[in-house]
Structures are given as C-alpha cells and as structure tokens.
C-alpha cells in the first residue's frame, strides 16, 4: 500500500483542500497520513472529523510549536518554526512499503490518476522517482532526453549532468576549495548550473522509491538544506546511472501548489506590512467556522479577492498583493508558471 504523506503546519484551510483533492482524484491502494508539526489542536480535530480515515502523526515538537502559534496571535510573540521534524519524516518513511508520495499541505491534485498504475510502471522499469508536478517549468527540458515509457510516463534522462561520488559532489555543491568558482571562471558552469539537478529531485510532488527518498534526506538533522539534497541525489544518480529509467515524470502535471501563502513569517520576508501568521490564523478561523470554502476556485488556487473577503483592519490588501507578486517572482525567475 502506498503511503501519501502530507507535511502539515498551521494551514488547515489548505490541508483540507489537499486531502479533498486526493480523495477526488487518486484511485488505487493508498492511505493518507498527515505529519503535523504544530497546527493548533482544534483545527486538526476538525480535519479528522471531515476525514476520519486519515491518520495524523504529530512531531516531537508539536506541543511547543502549536502553543507558539497561538501565543503569536494572542501577544505577538514570534513563532520559532525553524527546526524541521526530519526525524519524524524519516521514521515514517522507513516504516512504509517500497513506494511513498511525500507532499505538503499547500499542494493539491488537479486531475484523476490511478496510483497503482504508476507504481506498476515504477516496479517494471526500476524507476526511483516519478515527478507528478513541476510547477509548469519546462525551462530546462533542452537538457533532458525525454522518451515515452508507458501511456502515463516519460523517462527524463539528463543529457549533461555532472555526477560523482559523495566527496566530489560535496566539494562541488558547497564550493569547497573554491572548486565551483574555478569552474565558473573557466566558463564550465554558471549560476543556473546547479538548478539542473532539480531534474532528479522533487520536494513537493514526487512519488519515490523510499530508498531514494531516504538517501536524499540523509544527514538532514532538523533542517532543509537544498544543496545537501541535490548532492545526495547526484551521488545516487551516479551510482545507478546505467538505469536510463531512474527518473521519470507523468505526461502531464497532476499536482499544483500555491504562490499566495507561506507557513509562517519566518519564510519569505520581503519587508511588506503583511503578517503571514495572522493571515493564516484568519483563514483557519474562517474555515473552522464553516465560512471558508476549501475548494473555492479549484483546481486553480484560491482567488486573491476571495482571501481578501476575510480581511480585517490588521490585514492590508495592497500589502498582501505586493507580497504575492514578490513571492511569485522568485519562482518565475527560475522558470515556473506562476499564473493561474
């Protein structure tokens, strides 16, 4: 049985959308497990009322983080959300069957898909990762050899991707001994070179063989280090590069994410007068009391003006829209399709 894991933190209104989209669109043998790191209890209780078959597992820091979320609203005390529960994620993946899907609360399925069919193809072709979404980013497809494997999947083989053992990739990714700087001076690399390694990884929308996922997150120790992930992915890819089917993606995208929300003020600070924590509190409360429709505008993201219906004097619409544009720009510059 496939475990669909949802990393969750303080956005019940998006979590509801995520779970709803799974049950609407995903067929096959699977179970949904929420890995929560601090969503206040009243919101999680409602989620379980709506979806009684969904299992909720809380992190070791759950109590402290959920209290911190509530104190931020009551007295303005900053939320300490920087320690990531990688130990919980890895423990649950280790307990799983061979294949897992790891996503987050602000991601949702947009089309119907038979997950058993995907896994059958993965088993027969020895695929380690199937990317179910890629933010509409086809910018680097010229670096890939894309060939049809089945009616659902394409193999995606990087044409020119430097990979090696752990030591060499560590030097390369972290610019030790100024190795990467030297390559840039020799015009053998540039600022976009490392972005090509995302062709063999997926944070939000990947269906993995669990061994590959665990290797990518090896040495994480409570933090998200993208260079570390890409280093590990490159080492794994190098080890198994004779398998041309190692990485694949679906013919079309099946998953989508938001560019209008963040989990806390700790991320995406752009200097605007927009309080992400209070925004999430406002939407969570509206959702809790049955006023906020978690599938409004589905399968697209929530409409900006729909969010704004719930604003009070503490949330400024102009500042919110500036924040969204800045958030979108970060992804747009890397080739993502950020338009609805």
* Rounded average pLDDT over 241-261: 96
* Rounded average pLDDT over 51-74: 92
- Our CA angle for 42, 46, 48, nearest 5°, is 115
Looking at every residue in the chain, the average pLDDT score rounds to: 94
* Rounded average pLDDT over 116-139: 96
Least confident of 46-55, 158-167, 188-197: 188-197
For the ranges 72-76, 180-184, 268-272, the maximum mean pLDDT occurs at 180-184
Residue 79 pLDDT greater than 80, yes or no: no
Least confident of 142-146, 147-151, 208-212, 261-265: 261-265
Beta bridge partners of 214: none
Tokens for 58, please give them.
């809380």
Give tens-digit pLDDT for 7-28: 999 999 999 999 999 999 999 9
- pLDDT at residue 82, as a whole number: 65
Residue 129 pLDDT greater than 90, yes or no: yes
Instruction: Please give the torsion angle defined by the CA atoms of residues 122, 124, 126 and 128, in that order, rounded to the nearest 10 degrees.
Output: 10
Q: Read out DSSP for 175-240? A: TGGGHHHHHHHTTS--TTGGGGGGGG--SSSEEEEHHHHHHHTTT-SSS--HHHHHHHHHHHHHHT
Entry pTM: 0.96
- What is d(CA 201, CA 279) in angstroms, rounded to the nearest whole number? 31
**Strand-pair category, 99-104 with 26-27:** unpaired
Residue 267 pLDDT greater than 80, yes or no: no
Q: What are the start and end residues of each CATH 3.90.550.10 domain in the chain?
A: 2-115
Residue 268 pLDDT greater than 80, yes or no: no
- 């993201």: which residue's tokens? 301
* Rounded average pLDDT over 252-261: 96
- pLDDT at residue 340, as a whole number: 64
Is the backbone of residue 216 left (phi > 0), alpha (psi -120 to 50) or beta?
alpha
Is residue 35 a contact partner of residue 7, using CB atoms and an 8 Å limit?
yes
Residue 176 pLDDT greater than 90, yes or no: yes
The candidate with the shortest Cα–Cα distance to 227, out of 216, 211, 213, is 216
Backbone angles phi, psi at 15, to 5 degrees: -60, -40
Backbone angles phi, psi at 53, to 5 degrees: -80, -10
Instruction: Please give the torsion angle defined by the CA atoms of residues 214, 160, 256 and 277, in that order, rounded to the nearest 10 degrees.
Output: 70
Residue 80 pLDDT greater than 90, yes or no: no
The correct CATH number of 2-115 out of 3.90.550.10, 3.30.750.24, 3.40.50.300, 3.90.1150.10 is 3.90.550.10
- pLDDT at residue 134, as a whole number: 95
Handedness of CA 104, 106, 107, 109 (dihedral sign): positive
Query: What pLDDT band is residue 36 in, cutting at 50, 70 and 90?
Result: very high
Give tens-digit pLDDT for 191-245: 889 999 999 999 999 999 999 999 999 999 888 899 999 999 999 999 999 999 9
């Amino acid at each position: 049985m496939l475990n669909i894991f949802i990393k969750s933190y303080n956005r019940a209104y998006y979590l509801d959308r995520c779970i709803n989209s799974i049950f609407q669109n995903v067929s096959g043998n699977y179970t949904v497990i929420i890995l929560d790191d601090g969503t206040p209890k009243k919101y999680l209780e409602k989620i379980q009322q709506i979806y009684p078959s969904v299992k909720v597992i809380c992190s070791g820091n759950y109590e402290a983080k959920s209290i911190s979320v509530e104190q931020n609203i009551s007295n303005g005390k900053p939320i300490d959300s920087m320690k990531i529960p990688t130990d919980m994620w890895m423990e649950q993946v280790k307990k799983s069957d061979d294949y897992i899907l790891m996503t987050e609360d602000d991601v949702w399925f947009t089309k119907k898909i038979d997950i058993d069919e995907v896994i059958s193809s993965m088993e027969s072709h020895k695929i380690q990762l199937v990317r179910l979404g890629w933010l509409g980013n086809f910018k680097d497809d010229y670096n890939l050899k894309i060939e049809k494997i089945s009616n659902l999947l394409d193999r995606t083989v990087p044409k020119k991707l430097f990979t090696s053992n752990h030591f060499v990739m560590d030097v390369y990714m972290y610019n030790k001994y100024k190795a990467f700087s030297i390559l840039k001076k020799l015009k053998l690399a540039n600022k976009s070179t490392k972005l090509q390694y995302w062709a063999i990884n997926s944070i939000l929308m990947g269906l993995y063989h669990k061994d590959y996922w665990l290797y990518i997150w090896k040495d994480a120790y409570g933090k998200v280090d993208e260079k570390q992930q890409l280093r590990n992915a490159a080492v794994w890819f190098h080890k198994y590069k004779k398998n041309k089917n190692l990485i694949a993606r679906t013919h079309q995208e099946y998953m989508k994410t938001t560019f209008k929300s963040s989990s806390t003020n700790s991320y995406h600070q752009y200097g605007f007068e927009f309080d992400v924590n209070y925004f999430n509190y406002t939407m969570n409360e509206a959702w809790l009391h049955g006023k906020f429709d978690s599938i409004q505008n589905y399968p697209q993201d929530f409409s900006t003006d729909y969010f704004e219906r719930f604003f009070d004097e503490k949330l400024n619409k102009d500042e919110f829209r500036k924040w969204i544009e800045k958030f979108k720009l970060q992804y747009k510059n890397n080739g993502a399709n950020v338009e609805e």
